[in-house]
Amino acid sequence: MNQLEPILANVVMNPSAFGGPDTFKNVITKNKYIEKYNEYMKKNQTVAIEVYRDDNKMDEVYYHFQFPSDSNPEVIYDVVILFTSTNKDDTSETIDRYHIKIFSNSPGFAFQYAYVYNKRDLLVPALVDRFSNAELNTPPDKSNPSKAVGYDYTVFFALYHLKLHPNHLRKAFIKQYGTNISRFNPEDIPTSREVFQRRSPAQLLSFGKIKKKSKSFVEHTKNKVFSALGISTTGGKKRASSARGARKAVKASKGIRAKRSSK
């Protein structure tokens, strides 16, 4: 049984580093997912991602991704990767040594891994109730009989994307492009069951443009991404963001959100 420190470098290519059995299935799936990720980026060019952080400290950072379903592109899955510091005196310029917790509302994750992650305390705490009691407490005897800690493609895409873009883990980048953590509202993220319902554009991450000194990211082009996904943008309304936990306003466009990356 592997038990490595649960940081990105250890877990992204080896989910068994979180603990539990190292299965042949994980290895095969991982190789297929790399090909799948490359195909996704070739087709879509961008990844929808929003970063949340505290303005004054960097002990928790949330990365919120969205990926369309393979079988129905009108269904969008949410993935949240939480990085937490275990060192209050950390002075490094990156959060790549922070420990990781994971959430995905895709059925592949919910039915195979939610139970295992819950038992090992690997789920993002604020999002545990986005799963049903059955998903959290029923052993996946058929879909994951070895009770391995693994990834469906949505989780792998998120972790692998961060691995390929280490600049996204730099504190200067997070401070500049991140949104205040007070705006991270768990109720904005649909439950694993709700993702089966068609979602309006107002439920999706807005897209924007990122610039780097050495390189420009993909240009902002409104609404085209939703046309590509077959989602109507008619009737999309801004949502208020307040202390009462109302949903925040989002708009659609192609590119990378102000915290987002291109291939």
pLDDT tens string 95-119: 999 999 999 999 889 999 999 999 9
What is the token pair recorded at 118? 């819950």
Which pLDDT value is given to residue 186?
A: 95
CA distances from 180 to 17, 29, 57, 147 (A): 31, 35, 11, 36
| Residue 252, Cβ density class (10 Å: 0-12 exposed, 13-18 middle, ≥19 buried) | buried
Q: Looking at beta carbons, which pairs linking 123-127 to residues 24 or more positions away fall under 8 Å?
A: 124/62, 124/80, 124/81, 124/82, 125/82, 125/101, 126/184, 126/186, 127/80, 127/103, 127/186, 127/189
Mean pLDDT score, 1-17:
85
pLDDT band with cut points at 50, 70 and 90 for residue 27: confident
Could you tell me the two tokens for 45?
């060019």
Give the pLDDT of residue 225: 36
189, 127 contact by CB (below 8 A): yes
At 196, the pLDDT band (50, 70, 90 cuts) reads low
Q: What is the mean pLDDT of residues 159-183?
A: 96
Distance CA(160)–CA(166), nearest Å, equals 10
Using the predicted structure, report yes or no on whether residue 215 has a pLDDT greater than 70.
no
Quote the pLDDT of residue 235: 39
- Give the integer Cα–Cα distance in Å for 205 and 218: 16
Other Cβ atoms less than 10 A from the Cβ of 246: the count is 13
In a 3-state reduction of DSSP, which class is residue 84?
strand
